[in-house]
Amino acid sequence: MSSSWNSVGLEVLYQVLGWVAFFAWSFSFYPQVFLNYKRKSVVGLNFDFLVLNLTKHSSYLIYNAALFFSPFIQRQYHEQYGDKEMIPVAANDVAFSLHAVALTAFTLFQVFIYERGNQKVSKVCVSITAIVWTAAIVCLIVALSKSSWLWLIDVFNSTQVGMTAIKYIPQAVMNFRRKSTIGWSIGNILLDLTGGVLNFGQMGVQSIDQHTLVNFYGNIGKTLLSLEVVFFDVVFIIQHYVLYPIKRDENADNGYPILPIEVKHVAAA
């Protein structure tokens, strides 16, 4: 027997939280895109961040779309976690992932058409990306032989969690070393934090309705994603407002200050 909601009110709240989180996370991509367009330059935007972020969101899209649309994978999920457990992926998760891949790809396109100085993708980033996708191909071959599709998408889910942690670290370290957050939009972080908190709240609502915590560890990637987002965004907010506050005369360009060209490694949030 398939699972269903026990409370209509909680189901509505679940959908509302999910879609508000979707819009918050989705809008968080635009400040960087608009800044690049306004400056006609991507100098100061870390290209490693973009490449790692594309891998992260592509992996998350594969997981979300496969679990949401595939009856076969859903059946494997129920066999592992129980028939009464709800699928821990909502329509807003798929929509967000699709939008994130598109916006990240568009930002990479801006790298090719706008001034980029002497910046380039690092060898470390290239190596990480190559290893991740090579491992994904190997896992695909293994899954084909055993029809372990739930296991395969769990691999992609784990990949996006790892990429999320990696992509945030360079920005936090750079802010610490420079003792400044100039050149990076706090708007991205505030929207990102909003999405993370609401995403976690959405999972909590489902747990309350189903009287179980299975959706938290059944979709451990979504759980860890929300926790990572909240943790790093709080770090960034403390850096921006407490440790390295920006003076009014430094906050130029309508809140999107331009980073000096000699600074090469800046990751967008």
pTM of the model: 0.74
Q: Count other Cβ atoms within 10 Å, centred on residue 205.
A: 22
φ/ψ of residue 115, rounded to 5: -55, 130
Task: Give residue-wise pLDDT tens across range 251-269.
Answer: 554 344 444 434 444 444 4
CA distance 93 to 203: 12
User: Which residue, 9, 14, 18, 59, is CA-closest to 196?
Assistant: 18
pLDDT band, very low/low/confident/very high, at 148 (cuts 50, 70, 90): confident
CA distance 113 to 135: 32
Listed in sequence order, the DSSP H helices in the chain are 8-27, 30-39, 47-69, 71-81, 91-113, 123-146, 149-178, 186-210, 214-218, 220-238
Task: Give residue-wise pLDDT tens across range 62-89.
Answer: 999 999 998 888 888 888 887 777 777 8
**Amino acid 248: pLDDT:** 59
Q: How far from chain centre, in Å, is Cα 226?
A: 9
CA distance 163 to 104: 14
